[in-house]
Structure 1
Amino acid sequence: MKQDHRFVRRTAVALVSGALAAGALAGCSSKNQVPSIGYGVDAVIASYNGSSTLGANSGAAAVFPRVLTGFFYTGPDGQPVADTDTGTAKEVPGDAQTIQYRLSAEGTYSDGVATSCDDLVLTWAARSGRFTKAGPGGPVPLFDAASTDGYRDIERVDCQPGSKDATVVFRPGKHYSAWKTLFNAGDLMPAHVIATQTKIPTVVTPVQTGDQPTLEKIADFWNNGWKLTPGKLDLTVLPASGPYRIDSFSDKDGLVLVKNEKWWGNAPRTPRIVVWDRHSDLKSKVSDSSVGVLDVGAGSLGDVSLGGFHKQNLPGRGVEQLVLGTGGVFGSADARRAFALCVPRQALFDKFGHPGYDVKLGLGAGVLNSRTVPQDSVYYPAIAGAGDKYKGGDATASQAAASSGLQNQTVRIGYVKPDERRSAMVAAIADACKSAGITVVDAGAPDFAASQLTEGKVDAVLGGTASMPGPSGTIADTDAIASLRTGAGLNFGRFGNGRYDAIADQLAAEDNSTTVLNLLTEQENLLWGEMPSIPLFAGPRTIGFGDGMENGIANPSRAGAGWNMDRWVLKR
Structure 2
Amino acid sequence: MRRERNDAARPRPLATLVALILVLALAGCGTTVVSGTTIRIASSQLFSSANPKTSYGNSAANGTVSAATNSQFNYYDNTPRLVRDTSFGSYRVVSRDPLTVKYTIAPGVTWSDGVPVDAADMLLSWAANSGALNTKGFDDSSYLDRETGKYSRPFPPSVVHFDGFSGNGLQLVTKTPVIGDGGRSLTLSYDRFFVDWELVFGVGVPAHVVAGKALGIRDHDAAKRAMIAAIQTDDAPKLAKIARFWDTGFNFSAAKPDKDLLVGTGPYTVTDVVPGNHVTLTANPRYTGAHRPKVERVTIRYIADPLAAVEAFRRGEVDVVSPQPTEDVVKQLVSVDNATILSGFDGAYEHLDLQFDHGKNGTFANPEVRRAFLKTVPRQQILDSLVVPVQKDARLRSSQVFLPGSTGYQSAVKSNGSREYSRVDIAGAKAALAAAGVASPEVCVLFDPSNPRRVAEFGLIQKSAALAGFAVTDCSSTDWRELLGTPGAYDSSLYALRPSSLAVSAVAASFRSDSTIDNSNFYANRQVDGLIDSLDSTFDRTAQIAILHKIDSLVWADAYGVPLYQFPSVTAFDDRVTGIAPSPLAPNLLWNIWAWAPVKSAK
TM range (shorter): 0.7 to 0.9
Matched, 1:40 2:68: no
Partner residue, 2:413: 384
Partner residue, 1:153: 172
Provide the identity percentage. 24
Structure showing greater Rg:
2
Letter in 2 for 1:270: V
Partner of residue 53 from structure 2, selected from 36, 40, 51: 51
Partner residue, 1:144: 163
SS at match of 2:58: helix
Partner of residue 253 from structure 2, selected from 207, 213, 229: 229
Matched, 1:310 2:340: yes
| Larger displacement relative to structure 2 (425-434 or 33-42) | 33-42
Matched, 1:373 2:402: yes
CA distance in 1 between counterparts of 2:86 and 2:76 reads: 14
CA distance in 2 between counterparts of 1:478 and 1:25 reads: 46
Matched, 1:520 2:548: yes
- TM-score, structure 1 length as denominator? 0.86
Matched, 1:559 2:583: no
CA distance in 2 between counterparts of 1:191 and 1:161 reads: 18
Matched, 1:463 2:495: yes
Alignment of 1:210-229 (within 5 A): 210-229=234-253
Partner residue, 1:346: 380
Q: Tell me the CA shift for residue 383 of structure 1.
A: 1.3
Partner residue, 1:9: none
Is the Cα–Cα contact under 8 Å of residues 300 and 418 in structure 1 kept in the other structure?
no
Alignment of 1:168-567 (within 5 A): 168-171=188-191, 174-184=192-202, 188-197=204-213, 198=215, 199=217, 200-202=223-225, 203-251=227-275, 254-265=278-289, 266-277=291-302, 279=304, 282=309, 285-299=312-326, 305-306=332-333, 307-308=336-337, 309-327=339-357, 328-359=362-393, 366-385=395-414, 386=416, 387-394=418-425, 395-405=427-437, 407-451=439-483, 453-465=485-497, 472-476=499-503, 480-489=507-516, 490-567=518-595
Is the Cα–Cα contact under 8 Å of residues 418 and 446 in structure 1 kept in the other structure?
yes
CA distance in 1 between counterparts of 2:458 and 2:341 reads: 26
| Larger displacement relative to structure 2 (277-286 or 108-117) | 277-286
- CA 156–134 in structure 1, closer or farther in 2 if over 3 Å, else same: closer
| Larger displacement relative to structure 2 (438-447 or 212-221) | 438-447
Q: Tell me the CA shift for residue 436 of structure 1.
A: 1.2
- CA 509–136 in structure 1, closer or farther in 2 if over 3 Å, else same: closer
Alignment of 1:68-107 (within 5 A): 68-107=70-109
SS at match of 2:326: coil
CA distance in 1 between counterparts of 2:71 and 2:243 reads: 21
Letter in 1 for 2:372: A
SS at match of 2:271: strand
Partner residue, 1:121: 123
- CA 480–522 in structure 1, closer or farther in 2 if over 3 Å, else same: closer
Q: Alpha-carbon deviations, 1:81-117, whole Å to 9, x = none?
A: 2222211222344421122222110201111101112
- CA 389–507 in structure 1, closer or farther in 2 if over 3 Å, else same: same
CA distance in 2 between counterparts of 1:51 and 1:25 reads: 42
Is the Cα–Cα contact under 8 Å of residues 65 and 73 in structure 1 kept in the other structure?
no
- CA 410–206 in structure 1, closer or farther in 2 if over 3 Å, else same: same
SS at match of 2:511: coil
Q: Alpha-carbon deviations, 1:345-366, whole Å to 9, x = none?
A: 222223334553344xxxxx62
Is the Cα–Cα contact under 8 Å of residues 77 and 557 in structure 1 kept in the other structure?
no
- TM-score, structure 2 length as denominator? 0.82
CA distance in 2 between counterparts of 1:313 and 1:213 reads: 52
- CA 422–205 in structure 1, closer or farther in 2 if over 3 Å, else same: same
Q: Alpha-carbon deviations, 1:478-537, whole Å to 9, x = none?
A: 665312221322321111122212211221221224432332222112101112232111
Q: Tell me the CA shift for residue 311 of structure 1.
A: 2.1
CA distance in 1 between counterparts of 2:8 and 2:130 reads: 47
CA distance in 1 between counterparts of 2:301 and 2:434 reads: 46
Partner residue, 1:163: 183
- List alignment gaps of at least 5 residues for structure 2: 21-35, 141-157, 218-222
Q: Alpha-carbon deviations, 1:9-32, whole Å to 9, x = none?
A: xxxxxxx3xx65x9799999x977
- CA 225–383 in structure 1, closer or farther in 2 if over 3 Å, else same: same
Q: Tell me the CA shift for residue 455 of structure 1.
A: 2.0
Letter in 2 for 1:330: F
CA distance in 2 between counterparts of 1:57 and 1:147 reads: 17
Q: Alpha-carbon deviations, 1:265-289, whole Å to 9, x = none?
A: 2531101001123558645543442
Q: Alpha-carbon deviations, 1:367-422, whole Å to 9, x = none?
A: 11222221232121221222122113124122223333554122111112310011
CA distance in 2 between counterparts of 1:355 and 1:63 reads: 32
CA distance in 2 between counterparts of 1:278 and 1:461 reads: 22
Is the Cα–Cα contact under 8 Å of residues 245 and 259 in structure 1 kept in the other structure?
yes
SS at match of 1:89: strand
Is the Cα–Cα contact under 8 Å of residues 356 and 365 in structure 2 kept in the other structure?
yes
Is the Cα–Cα contact under 8 Å of residues 511 and 524 in structure 2 kept in the other structure?
yes
- CA 60–248 in structure 1, closer or farther in 2 if over 3 Å, else same: same
Q: Tell me the CA shift for residue 437 of structure 1.
A: 1.4
Q: Tell me the CA shift for residue 333 of structure 1.
A: 1.6
Is the Cα–Cα contact under 8 Å of residues 64 and 586 in structure 2 kept in the other structure?
yes
Q: Tell me the CA shift for residue 303 of structure 1.
A: 7.3
CA distance in 2 between counterparts of 1:323 and 1:53 reads: 17
What is the aligned-residue RMSD (CA, Å)? Answer: 3.0
Instruction: State the number of aligned residues.
Output: 539
